Amino acid sequence: MTIKLARNIDKLGTAGLFLTAIFSPCCFPLFAFAASALGFGSAELFGGWTMWIFQLMVLISIGGLYISSRVHKSSYPLLVAVPSGILIFYAYHFNDSNEWIYFLYAGMFGLLIATILNYKKNKMKGNCTTCGIYKGQTVELKSTITCPECGYSKDEIMPIDACVFFYECGHCKTKLRPKQGDCCVFCSYGTEKCPPIQAGDKCC
């Protein structure tokens, strides 16, 4: 559940900011038609809190895209999202002209585009069914370990809260130990480093 939520934070934030806008047509006249169709007319769902809720959703969306960029090593959606967020905050806090609302809308649709790009990127890479959360970061737990003696390889699931210092090869029965400078056998012989190293932490 935690992993699934972490992967969808950006979608929750973007959906939240558009729902806030639709249900508050007094603040976002572009969405007045949609609000009227839903029976909200000229209502303002969150009252005086509308713009604060809206800005919170913007931050949640950008935060989710940042997490996703760290996990999937793809920064393109974030490069669209950050300027879009800046546009929104500039429009609301610093632009006193009559055109401020257009900057706000541009930022909103920029975040929508960033979220769609992120969704497509993640879809292309597939869903990670062997991931876990280490200190708030998503890490890959599946690692293929290869015996240096006989070349036998086997997929293993790494523990998220402990390092594996000894490992016996399933073929030749050689007992493997980490190479000098490595903290575990996965860092030395696996296709993926152990969770702490993936997350940028010290050896466990």
| pLDDT score of 43 more than 60 | no
Domain edges within the chain: 2-125, 131-198
Count other Cβ atoms within 10 Å, centred on residue 29. 12
Is residue 114 within 8 Å of 120, Cβ to Cβ?
A: no
| 190 compared with 122, residue with greater pLDDT | 190
Q: What is the pLDDT at residue 191?
A: 92
Longest CA span, the chain: 76
Structure tokens at 3: 């992993």
For residue 183, the one-letter residue type is C
Q: What is the pTM of this model?
A: 0.53
- For the segment 82-111, what is each residue's pLDDT rounded down to a tens digit? 999 999 999 989 988 888 888 989 999 999
Determine the straight-line distance between the first and last CA of the chain, rounded to whole angstroms.
25
- For the segment 97-153, what is each residue's pLDDT rounded down to a tens digit? 888 888 989 999 999 999 888 887 766 555 567 888 888 777 889 999 999 999 999
Distance CA 182, CA 140 (A): 18
